[in-house]
C-alpha cells in the first residue's frame, strides 16, 4: 500500500552516494499524484545535479521477476509507478566500500538514487509492476557492463521470493560471483598544466592515484583550437585547469596581450564548452588581480571585479566563462609560491649572496603555497562541496611583500633589517619595459572555504617549513 502525504526526505545508506528518497504522494478519490523528479526541491535536499538524458520504463507481468545485478556507467534515479519492488544494491566500485550490500523496498512513495558503478537489482513483489528510471548517459547495446549473480553467496541477499522460484534471464543466471568482479575504477581526473608550479603540487597531492592523469602543454595545448577532439572526454569526471598565462608585466605588451587572451580566455572557453557538454566538473584557478585593490576590507567571492591590467582582465573574463559550467569550482588565490622560480627563493638567494633588497611595502596580502592550493582543490572535489567560487590563500596575518622578505631573511638566519621597504611607484620608477598595475589590497576572505570544512594552513608557518627545506637542501648540495 502506497503511503500518502510523506514529506520529501533523504535516507543515506552504507553505500556512499546511494540514497533512498521518500517522495510526497498526494491522493484522493481519483487516485494519486507525485513529483517523481523535481530538480529544484531535490537539489535543495541534497540530490546531485546529475543531468538525466534518458527516461526508461520497465514493466513486469508477474511477481518475482528479478533483474540484475548490473553496474552501469551512469547515475540513475529509479522509482516505481505502480506495484512494489524489492531492490538490492552492491557497491562494485574500487575502494573500501567494495562489496557492501544495501536492500530496501520501493513503492510509488520511495525512490533510490544509484551512483555510477553501484550494482543494482530489482525483484517485483506484485504482478503488473512498473518502475521507471532516469539516467545521465545514453544506453549503448554494444556497451560492456559489470554484472554479478543475484544469488551469489558472498553478498547473501535475502530475496523475498527465492531465486529458484523467481523469473530471471539466462544472462543473469550465468553471471559470476563477487570474487570474479574487477572493481570499477572511478572516472578519471585530468590535470592540465601539469608542468607548472601548481601542476607539480597536484602531482604530489595525487601521487599513487591511478585515475588522475597529468597533461603538460606538449600533451594538451589550450590554445591549439582542437580541444574537443583531443581526448575521449567521456572517460573523465573532472578537469583541473592549472594552465594559465601568468606573466603579468609581459601581458601589457602587444605580443603578451595576445598570448594572455589566448590561454586565459579562448582556451578556457573551449574547456568550459567541453565540461558543459560532457557534464564534467571544471576546476579553474583565478587571481586577486581581478580586483583593483581599493577595498578597505578583505575581498569576498561575490565582490564586483574591476581588473587594472591585461592579466587581470583575462582572468576575470575566464572566470565568467567557467561560471557558466553547471559543475564548476573557481579558486581565487593570491601571492602564489611553489616549485620553480618564486619570490621566496629569490629572497633566499639575495640573502646568501649578501645583497640587501628594496621590496614593495604598499601591497598587502597573504602568501598561498601551491601545496595548500592543491589540497583545497582535492578537498572541494572529494567532499562535493557546493559548486561556485572560493577564495583560497594561506591563513594568518596580513603582510606586505617587504614583510615576507624580512621574515624569509629571518627564517634563513639573516638580519631582516637588510630589507628596506619602498612604494610600488618607487620600485618600478626606473623600469624600461611595461609594468602591470598591481592591486594594493590582495587580502581575500576565507570564510566560505572554511565553511566546507577546509582549514587553511597559517601562511607564516608554511613559509617557515618551506624555508627550512630550502635551507637544508642548499646545505646538502654544498656538502656534496
Active site residues: 70, 133
State how far the Cα of 106 lies from the Cα of 124, in Å rounded to an integer: 10
435 Cβ contact partners less than 8 Å away, ≥ 6 residues apart: 249, 252, 428
**Please, what's the b/e burial string for 38-49 (b: 16 or more CB within 10 A of its CB; e: otherwise)?**
eeeebeeeebbe
State how far the Cα of 397 lies from the Cα of 369, in Å rounded to an integer: 15
43 Cβ contact partners less than 8 Å away, ≥ 6 residues apart: 49
Do residues 378 and 448 make contact, with C-beta atoms less than 8 angstroms apart? Answer: no
Strand, helix or coil for residue 328? strand
DSSP-assigned states of every residue in 12-49: E-SSTT-EEEE--EEEETTEEEE-S--HHHHHHTT---
**C-alpha distances in Å from residue 97, one per residue of 14, 17, 18, 94:** 8, 11, 12, 8
**C-alpha 325 chain-centroid distance:** 12
Amino acid at each position: 500500500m502506497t503511503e500518502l502525504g510523506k514529506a520529501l526526505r533523504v535516507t543515506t545508506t552504507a553505500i556512499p552516494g546511494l540514497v533512498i528518497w521518500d517522495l510526497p504522494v498526494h491522493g484522493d478519490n481519483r487516485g494519486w499524484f507525485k513529483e517523481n523528479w523535481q530538480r529544484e526541491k531535490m537539489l535543495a535536499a541534497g540530490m546531485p545535479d546529475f543531468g538525466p538524458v534518458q527516461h526508461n520504463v520497465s514493466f513486469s507481468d508477474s511477481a518475482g521477476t528479478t533483474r540484475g545485478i548490473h553496474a552501469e556507467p551512469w547515475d540513475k534515479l529509479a522509482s516505481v509507478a505502480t506495484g512494489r519492488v524489492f531492490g538490492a544494491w552492491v557497491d562494485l566500485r574500487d575502494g573500501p566500500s567494495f562489496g557492501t550490500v544495501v536492500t530496501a523496498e520501493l513503492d510509488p512513495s520511495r525512490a533510490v538514487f544509484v551512483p555510477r558503478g553501484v550494482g543494482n537489482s530489482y525483484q517485483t513483489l506484485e504482478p503488473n509492476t512498473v518502475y521507471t528510471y532516469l539516467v545521465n548517459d545514453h544506453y549503448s547495446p554494444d556497451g560492456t557492463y559489470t554484472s554479478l549473480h543475484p544469488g551469489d553467496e558472498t553478498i547473501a541477499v535475502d530475496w523475498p521470493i527465492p531465486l529458484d522460484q523467481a523469473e530471471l534471464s539466462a544472462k543473469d543466471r550465468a553471471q559470476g560471483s563477487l570474487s570474479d568482479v574487477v572493481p570499477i575504477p572511478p572516472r578519471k581526473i585530468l590535470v592540465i598544466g601539469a608542468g607548472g608550479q601548481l601542476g607539480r603540487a597536484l602531482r604530489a597531492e595525487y601521487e599513487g592515484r591511478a585515475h588522475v592523469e597529468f597533461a603538460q602543454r606538449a600533451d594538451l595545448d589550450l590554445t591549439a583550437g582542437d580541444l574537443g577532439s583531443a581526448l575521449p572526454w567521456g572517460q573523465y569526471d573532472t578537469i583541473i585547469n592549472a594552465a594559465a598565462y601568468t606573466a603579468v608585466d609581459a601581458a601589457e605588451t602587444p605580443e603578451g596581450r595576445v598570448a594572455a587572451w589566448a590561454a586565459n580566455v579562448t582556451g578556457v572557453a573551449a574547456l568550459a564548452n567541453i565540461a558543459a557538454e560532457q557534464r564534467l566538473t571544471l576546476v579553474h584557478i583565478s587571481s586577486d588581480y581581478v580586483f583593483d585593490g581599493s577595498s578597505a576590507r578583505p575581498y569576498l567571492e561575490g565582490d564586483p571585479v574591476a581588473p587594472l591590467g591585461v592579466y587581470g582582465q583575462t582572468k576575470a573574463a575566464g572566470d565568467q566563462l567557467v561560471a557558466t559550467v553547471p559543475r564548476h569550482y573557481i579558486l581565487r588565490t593570491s601571492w602564489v609560491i611553489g616549485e620553480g622560480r618564486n619570490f621566496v627563493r629569490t629572497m633566499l638567494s639575495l640573502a646568501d649572496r649578501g645583497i640587501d633588497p628594496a621590496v614593495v611595502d604598499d601591497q598587502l596580502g597573504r602568501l598561498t603555497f601551491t601545496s595548500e592550493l592543491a589540497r583545497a582543490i582535492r578537498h572541494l572535489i572529494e567532499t562535493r562541496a557546493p559548486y561556485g567560487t572560493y577564495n583560497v590563500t594561506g591563513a594568518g596575518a596580513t603582510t606586505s611583500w617587504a614583510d615576507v622578505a624580512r621574515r624569509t631573511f629571518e627564517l634563513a638566519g639573516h638580519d631582516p633589517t637588510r630589507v628596506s621597504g619602498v612604494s610600488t611607484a618607487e620600485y618600478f620608477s626606473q623600469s624600461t619595459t611595461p609594468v602591470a598595475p598591481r592591486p594594493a589590497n590582495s587580502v581575500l576572505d576565507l570564510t566560505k572555504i572554511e565553511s566546507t570544512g577546509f582549514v587553511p594552513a597559517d601562511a607564516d608557518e608554511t613559509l617557515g617549513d618551506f624555508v627550512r627545506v630550502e635551507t637544508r637542501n642548499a646545505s646538502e648540495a654544498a656538502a656534496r
